[in-house]
């Protein structure tokens, strides 16, 4: 008897007995696919996830990797989020295709069901600063900032100035919680005198008036 293309739920034949049992099993599998997380322990060695396990989970928690580990997946169809909850890199692999997932980060992967079919759709992403931080201007106003994305390959820093002014002659600086790999770029900048390095945002000094606006810095 044939079944569904992606998760292989067996079709119910018109004349078969036990229709309710088979239908309920499929309902349970669909429920798990939508809401269950598969935990894989990598504390003692590499790990794997079978097709049957992948068909019953929307996400995989790779736990306990204190040294570099490999998480091998059976070929599957569709998307799965994988989170590396350890402190070392986890290599996600299907067949000969592999991708590094840094510690503390998550990514969305897509399988096409083939032997080596694995693609990266989103990420890797890391949680950023949970709360905003406030810097008081030396003369007036404030700068509030956060770094909502601190991923290994994508970072974003956001600051908003409210009546900010510094006439001290010494620029104020903000250290990025996570350093950029290369000098970031300004994707929004109300203050043309501000500058950024891989580690620091430098605000202007000797200002002649207050400034209100936003600064957004992005890069790898």
Whether 15 maps to a domain, the answer reads no
Q: 105 and 162, same structural domain?
A: no
- The pLDDT value recorded for residue 151 is 74
Q: State the pairing for strand pair 140-150/155-165.
A: antiparallel
If DSSP codes are grouped into helix, strand and coil, which group holds residue 11?
coil
The residue among 95, 125, 155 that closes a domain is 125
- The pLDDT value recorded for residue 218 is 94
> What is the Cα–Cα distance from 143 to 166, expressed in whole angstroms?
11
Residue 71 has pLDDT above 90, yes or no: yes
> What is the Cα–Cα distance from 27 to 20, expressed in whole angstroms?
10
Peptide bond preceding 140 in cis form (omega within 30 of 0): no
Predicted confidence (pLDDT) per residue in 152-197, tens digit: 778 899 999 999 999 998 999 999 988 999 999 999 988 778 999 9
Q: Could you tell me which of 120, 110, 131 has the C-alpha nearest to residue 154?
A: 120
Residue 197 tokens, joined: 């390095």
Q: 119 and 145, same structural domain?
A: no
Structural domain count of the chain: 2
Q: 151 and 172, same structural domain?
A: yes
Query: Cα Rg for the chain, rounded, in angstroms?
Result: 24
Distance, CA of 157 to chain centre? 15
- The pLDDT value recorded for residue 130 is 54
CATH code of the domain covering residue 116: 2.60.120
Residue 32 has pLDDT above 60, yes or no: no
The residue among 87, 104, 125 that closes a domain is 125
- Supply φ then ψ for residue 45, to 5 degrees: 170, -175
Confidence grade of residue 5 (pLDDT, cut at 50, 70, 90): low
Q: 104 and 41, same structural domain?
A: yes
Q: Which residues constitute the domain of residue 165?
A: 133-219
Whether 25 maps to a domain, the answer reads no
Whether 143 maps to a domain, the answer reads yes
> What is the Cα–Cα distance from 95 to 219, expressed in whole angstroms?
32
If DSSP codes are grouped into helix, strand and coil, which group holds residue 206?
coil
Q: 116 and 143, same structural domain?
A: no
Q: Mean pLDDT, to the nearest integer, of 78-87?
A: 92
- The pLDDT value recorded for residue 74 is 95
Whether 12 maps to a domain, the answer reads no
The residue among 125, 143, 162 that closes a domain is 125
Residue 31 has pLDDT above 70, yes or no: no
- The pLDDT value recorded for residue 148 is 82
Residue 15 has pLDDT above 90, yes or no: no
Whether 97 maps to a domain, the answer reads yes
Q: Mean pLDDT, to the nearest integer, of 201-208?
A: 88
Whether 21 maps to a domain, the answer reads no
- The pLDDT value recorded for residue 149 is 81
């Amino acid at each position: 008897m044939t079944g569904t293309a992606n998760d292989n739920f067996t079709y119910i034949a018109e004349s078969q007995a036990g229709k309710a049992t088979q239908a309920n099993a499929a309902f349970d599998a669909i429920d798990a696919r939508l809401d269950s997380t598969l935990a894989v322990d990598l504390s003692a060695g590499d790990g794997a996830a079978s097709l049957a396990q992948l068909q019953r989970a929307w996400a995989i928690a790779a736990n306990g990797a204190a040294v570099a580990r490999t998480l091998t997946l059976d070929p599957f169809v569709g998307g799965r989020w994988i989170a590396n909850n350890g402190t070392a890199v986890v290599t996600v692999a299907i067949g000969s295709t592999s991708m590094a997932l840094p510690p503390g980060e998550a990514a969305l992967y897509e399988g096409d069901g083939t032997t080596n079919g694995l693609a990266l759709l989103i990420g890797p992403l890391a949680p950023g600063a949970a709360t905003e931080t406030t810097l008081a201007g030396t003369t007036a106003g404030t700068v509030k900032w956060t770094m909502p994305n601190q991923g290994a390959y994508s970072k974003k820093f956001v600051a908003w100035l409210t009546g900010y002014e510094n006439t001290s002659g010494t620029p104020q600086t903000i250290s990025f919680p996570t350093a950029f790999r290369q000098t970031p770029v300004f994707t929004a900048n109300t203050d043309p005198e501000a500058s950024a390095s891989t580690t620091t945002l430098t605000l202007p000094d000797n200002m002649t008036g207050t400034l209100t606006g936003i600064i957004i810095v992005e890069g790898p």
